[in-house]
Structure 1
Amino acid sequence: MLKDFFGKRKKYASIPSEQAKTDVPEGLMQKCKGCHKIYYRKEMKKNVNVCPNCNYHHTLTAWERIDSLFDENSFQEWDKQLITSNPLDFPDYEEKMKKDREKTGLNEGVVTGEGTIEGHRVAFAVMDSTFRMGSMGSVVGEKIARAIENAKDESIPFIIFTASGGARMQEGVLSLMQMTKTSIAIKRFSEAGGLMVSVMTHPTTGGVSASFASLGDYNFAEPGALIGFAGRRIIEQTIREKLPDDFQTAEFQLKHGQLDKVVHRHQLKHVLSTLLQLHQKGGKSLETNS
């Protein structure tokens, strides 16, 4: 019996590592992209997808972002029914959109609506990089513009969380037009006395960074977020110079006056609620908590 026991143990030990890996349920573990340590996925989720070791900010989906910031049961979604068509008859575009809808549970790369943060009512838009890399198409621009208009009509602040690879090439100039449309909506909102807060997350690039992402009364970003218009390689080839290693990071943008603050994800709710308190009629500073 003892011989059989050790024999089984030896047999188990001889299983190739590739086969042993299959014994671990898929999706149970997650490797940090910053320090490469491995954590239980539940542990990472509990920490709002921030690495406990190196503070690397991993991607959040739109709904994870909403759940982490807004008061429970305060969320009301707007324009969920809007779905992108294929205006240019771009090959396979409709099929790819269908797959993204099935994979993410979203109809488009942005979720808009209203909710409360520590009791303060706000309108918001949350972009989701897991849907077409958060690319800006006609529906993304339309939903954001409508959300801004609703915020103006309701006289409430507007907060946007950006995450995008830029304009959606499958929609051509219709995608680029969203830069103008959203910027005009923000201008009208500002003239009406509205407060807009932009929070740029990784990555915020292309036409999104060059339009609504950078037009907030307050422009924040999460640590390490990539923020910029053109890519590093294109810029280096154009100016024929080597760019700094931290070029286009949130920290670089802050240092050069393009951001007001880089905010750790764990502090974001407090920072936003403090701003909302300060800007409400008769609001008082929360100096004791700042």
Structure 2
Amino acid sequence: MILEHFKHKSYKPVKKVDIGPDCVIKCPKCESLFFIEDMDHVNKLCPHCGKYFKMTARERIASVVDEDSFIEYFREKKIRDPLKFPKYKEKQMSLRRKLELDEGVVCGIASIRNIKLAIAVMDTDYLMGSMGSTVGEKISKTVELSIKKKLPLLIFSASGGARMQEGMFSLMQMAKTSQAISKHNEKGLLYISVMTNPTTGGVSASFASLGDIIIGEKNALIGFAGPRVIRQVTGTELPPGFQSAEFLLEHGLLDMIVPREEMRNTLGNILSLHAHVNKSRGVRR
């Protein structure tokens, strides 16, 4: 009877299922493994800990606007390379084919709760969402479109800052976009700025910080220079959580922090309130 335990046992083979390398994701925060189909695909959240995964511009647009309401404007066919930077043009051509984007920002008109607005959403997949001359031009045109049609303006920022391959031409976009926002403000139109992870450099120092209402995404990195550079320049140790959205809210640089899953409702509430106030004042839109 004891020998029975040492006999070779036969087992029926389990049917193999090829899940493929692209079917499973590991969360960088909680290190849980989960199937892609279990992810909250609208808001790109880890189903276990709620960690935010990177969103493309089109995913972010789809998560906040009314279904089938987005109409894209200002697609750019030309590739600008003012400094003839080595391999810069080839890199952009490759990204255009791979990502089906013309640049680091997607612009157009959409609606939230049937309220029309002009919208621009940056995409870090395209050269880290850096702001070159084309990005600055597209954002400025979106602001001008908002003024022409008397629409509220919504910009989602996600950027590593100015684009080094364009040098001074890139830095000039800070003034260009800021001037456009100034004209928008003079017309008394609403501008909502949403800073996502990351919003840094020349973007944070220009149009992203000029909103009538400035919203931060939870745990977003927001700042101008990096912590290491700031420490070297000031010679001081930085406080814990420096340059996080929560730190900026505490120090008055943001109006609110909104989780992704609440972003659409929050934006809808702001736009509805603004439309109601304009209507009560007899303001024509």
Aligned to 2:4: none
Spell out, residue by residue over 1:82-134, the C-alpha distance to the aligned partner (whole angstroms, 9 max, x if none). Answer: 44321111000011111211221101000000011111100010000111000
Q: Which runs of 5+ in 2 are unaligned?
A: 1-6, 280-285
Q: Secondary structure at the match of 1:115?
A: strand
Summarize the Cα distance change of 1:47–1:87 in structure 2 as closer, same or farther, 3 Å threshold: closer
Q: Quote the Cα distance in structure 1 between the aligned partners of 2:175 and 2:115.
A: 29
Aligned to 2:174: 179
Aligned to 2:211: 216
Residue identity matched to 1:62? A
Q: Secondary structure at the match of 2:219?
A: coil
Residue 114 (1) aligns with residue 109 (2): yes
- Two-structure CA RMSD over aligned residues (Å): 2.3
Report if aligned partners of 1:57, 1:224 keep a CA contact under 8 Å in 2: no
Q: Quote the Cα distance in structure 1 between the aligned partners of 2:37 and 2:156.
A: 24
Q: Secondary structure at the match of 2:155?
A: strand
Q: Quote the Cα distance in structure 1 between the aligned partners of 2:93 and 2:252.
A: 40
Residue 86 (1) aligns with residue 76 (2): no
Q: Quote the Cα distance in structure 2 between the aligned partners of 1:243 and 1:38.
A: 35
Report if aligned partners of 1:83, 1:139 keep a CA contact under 8 Å in 2: no
Residue identity matched to 2:139? I
TM (normalized to structure 2)? 0.90
C-alpha deviation, 1:3, in angstroms: 6.3
Q: Quote the Cα distance in structure 2 between the aligned partners of 1:264 and 1:99.
A: 33
Aligned to 2:283: none
Report if aligned partners of 1:62, 1:110 keep a CA contact under 8 Å in 2: yes
Residue 243 (1) aligns with residue 231 (2): no
Aligned to 1:275: 270
Summarize the Cα distance change of 1:56–1:107 in structure 2 as closer, same or farther, 3 Å threshold: same
TM (normalized to structure 1)? 0.88
Q: Secondary structure at the match of 1:77?
A: strand
Q: For 2:144, which of 146, 149, 168 is the aligned residue?
A: 149
Residue identity matched to 2:67? E
In the comparison of the two structures, how many residue pairs are matched? 274
C-alpha deviation, 1:39, in angstroms: 1.9
Residue identity matched to 2:132? G
Summarize the Cα distance change of 1:82–1:152 in structure 2 as closer, same or farther, 3 Å threshold: farther
Residue 70 (1) aligns with residue 65 (2): yes
